[in-house]
Amino acid sequence: MTIIPAVDSRMKDGLSYDDLKEILEPLIENPLCFGIEITILDPDYDENGNYTLPFVENLIQIIKIKKNK
């Protein structure tokens, strides 16, 4: 399953949480990284937060990796 189908331009076989972690970890660990911006999360496609909450929880875990190193 892709991590967020609640977007306006869905793709079959999109990113998994493992893919997201693999992409973000080296970027977040870089000392030049000062922040992150998440775009195109459409609440109209996720009225109950079924996709948003797990996404945020996984993102927090990825960001914590930097804090703990």
Mean pLDDT by 10 residues, the chain (69 residues): 66 80 90 85 84 88 73
Q: What's at 49, amino acid-wise?
A: G
**Segment 16-27, tens digit of pLDDT:** 888 889 989 999
Element of type H or E holding 4: none
Task: Kindly report the pTM of this predicted structure.
Answer: 0.72
Angle, vertex CA 39, rays to CA 14 and CA 30, nearest 5 = 85
CA atoms within 13 A on the CB side of 64: 6
Q: CA 2, CA 34: separation in Å to the nearest integer?
A: 27
Q: What is the pLDDT of residue 60?
A: 92
Helix pair angle (52-68, 17-29), 10° resolution:
40
Q: What is the pLDDT of residue 39?
A: 78
